[in-house]
Every structure is written in structure tokens, then in C-alpha cells.
Amino acid sequence: MLIYVAKRLVLAIAVLVVIAFLLIALVTVVPGDPARTVLGTHATPELMRQVRQTMGLDQPVWEQTWNFLWGALHGDLGTDFITRAPVRDELGRPFVNTLVLSLTSMILAAAIGIPAGVVSAVNSGGVIDRIVRAVSMVLLSTPVYVVGLVLLLVLSVHFHWLPSLGGGSFSDPLDYAQRLLMPAFALAVYWIAYLARLVRSSMLEVLEQDFVRTSRAYGVPESTINFRVALRNALVPIVALLGLMLGYTLAGTVYVEQIFGRVGLGSLALSSIGNRDWPVVRGVVLIYAVAFVLGSLLADVAYRVLDPRLRVEQDAGVFV
């Protein structure tokens, strides 16, 4: 197990290095000079050269990549081209807002999607099962920005139940929670449907196993079989999926934060791209990349911890 984790860590580090290299190389490919953006159109070539040297843009890509990664390891993500403030400080509050939004959406997805999948599996072939499958199919096909706009129009514009725009402040927890509810639910809708279908299929597969039939033959109550035997075994792939969900929900906040006017990493990245403020863009993308890599690593490790069959196959040389 330790060897497997070590391999995955090495692979994760390699992926982050490649991403950092691509982020640095992006500046030389994308049209627009950051130094020109800072100085304006009337800057002299000499001043442009000095500013580019100050920004480190005159260095080779590999050297910029090394400096960026070395600084990131020490908590230094560079300096904002526009405000000249440390990027780490620029990302502070947006990162907290985005993380709270992502975690809340994951909690909503698990709290709604898992019970829906269980009810659908227990009533397989019935009316409830058909309703859950139909609704989940529609939700899986609906983009997050469409869900966000519908929620905004219905709950805020039409009924005035929830505030429409802005993220609120932690100093007013009630207002912050009210402004968090719609974007978190919009971000969770896809995962609610995905979890419902995954739990349903996993439970149906478990319910067909021999040990379940044996439990029924011994007279074990159906409720015990469904919730203490089948569900516990069916939740193994779902627990592993939660690690991957973190990266995907963080990336999905770009749409939600724009629709609901929230301050977060997504909205910060979009404004920084427009200003050619590449240090901030690199910092945001690095956070997304780390979330994806760590989420994938945790999902792989959790799956092998929870499912002993994979460890047996790995020890036997069947699974690498």
C-alpha cells in the first residue's frame, strides 16, 4: 500500500510540474504583453524592457517554472502585476469563499443524492424508481449555469425568497447562508443526479450478491439488508468519488460565481485573464490543479482501503 501511495505521489508531483510549465509558457503564447498592460500604450521600449525584467518575463520558461514552483513551496505565488500586492494575499478571501461554496455543494449533493439512490434501488421498477431516474437524467443534461439562472429567476426575482447577488460576509452568518444556498444548490444539482444513479446501480449490484440472498434465507429483515448490508457495501465507490468531487466543484464555481456575483477564485481568474495579470491566473489554476490531484489521490487511496479485493489483487501482481 505504501509503495502504491508513493507511486501516486510521484505521479501527482509530475503532473503539477507539467501544469506549472504550461502556465508559464501560456504567457508567451497568448496575445498581449503584461508589461504593455501595466504601462499603457505610450511606454518606451526601454521602460518596457525594465518592467519585463522586473516581472521575470525575460527569463527562459524553464527558469520561470522553477522559480514559480520553488516560491509556491514556500508560500510565495508571486506579485500581482496590477496592484503589486502578493498574490497569496489576493487569493485569501476568494479562496475561502470558493472553498465554502464547494464544500456546501458537496454536502448538499451527498445529503440528497445518496438517499434518492437508496430509495430508487429499494423500489426498483416502481413509480418512485422511474421518477428518480427521469429527474436525474434531466439534471445530468442541464448545465450548471442554466440551473443557476433558473434558481435566480424563480427564488429571487419572482418570489423574493432569497437575496439575488453578492456573497455576504462572515460577520452576518444568516445573510451569508442565505446568499450561499442558491449557488451551492446550483453547483450540487449535477452531483445529486450522478450520486443518485451511482448509488442505485451499486445497491442493485450488491442486492444480487450471494451473501444478500443468504441473509434473506436466514430471515434477516429486509430493512436491515437494505440499509446495514447492501448500503454499506454500495457506498465504497461513492466514498472514493467524494475526493474527485472536490476538484470538479472547485472548477465549477467559475460559472456560479459569475451568475450570482460572488467574490471567489473563479471570478478572480476571469478578471485577471482580462487584465493579463498572469501571476494571479497562475495562482488560481495551481489551486485548482492541486485540488484535482489531491482529490484523485485521496479517491484512489480510499477506494483501496475500503475495498480489500483491490489490495489482494495488487499484492498478487494483478493490479498495478
User: Is residue 24 one of the residues assigned to a domain?
Assistant: no
The pLDDT value given to residue 38: 62
User: Is residue 145 one of the residues assigned to a domain?
Assistant: yes
Give percent above pLDDT 90 in the chain.
3
User: Is residue 257 one of the residues assigned to a domain?
Assistant: yes
pTM (2 d.p.): 0.78
d(CA 127, CA 195): 19
Measured in degrees and rounded to the nearest 5, phi and psi for residue 79 equal -120, 135
The pLDDT value given to residue 238: 77
pLDDT digits (tens, 9 = 90+) for 120-156: 888 888 888 899 899 989 888 888 888 888 888 888 8
User: Is residue 53 one of the residues assigned to a domain?
Assistant: no
User: Is residue 169 one of the residues assigned to a domain?
Assistant: yes
The pLDDT value given to residue 161: 84
pLDDT digits (tens, 9 = 90+) for 261-300: 888 888 888 888 777 777 888 888 888 888 888 877 877 7
Number of domains in the chain: 1
The pLDDT value given to residue 54: 67
d(CA 282, CA 307): 37
Of 182, 131, 140, nearest to 161 by C-alpha is: 182
d(CA 90, CA 176): 21
Contact 61, 28 (CB under 8 A): yes
Average per-residue pLDDT for the chain: 78
User: Is residue 301 one of the residues assigned to a domain?
Assistant: no
More confident residue, 302 or 111: 111
User: Is residue 237 one of the residues assigned to a domain?
Assistant: yes
Of 247, 254, 252, nearest to 286 by C-alpha is: 247
User: Is residue 215 one of the residues assigned to a domain?
Assistant: yes
CB-based contacts of 27, cutoff 8 Å, min separation 6: 34, 57, 278
Q: Which domain holds residue 232?
A: 100-274
126: domain CATH number is: 1.10.3720.10
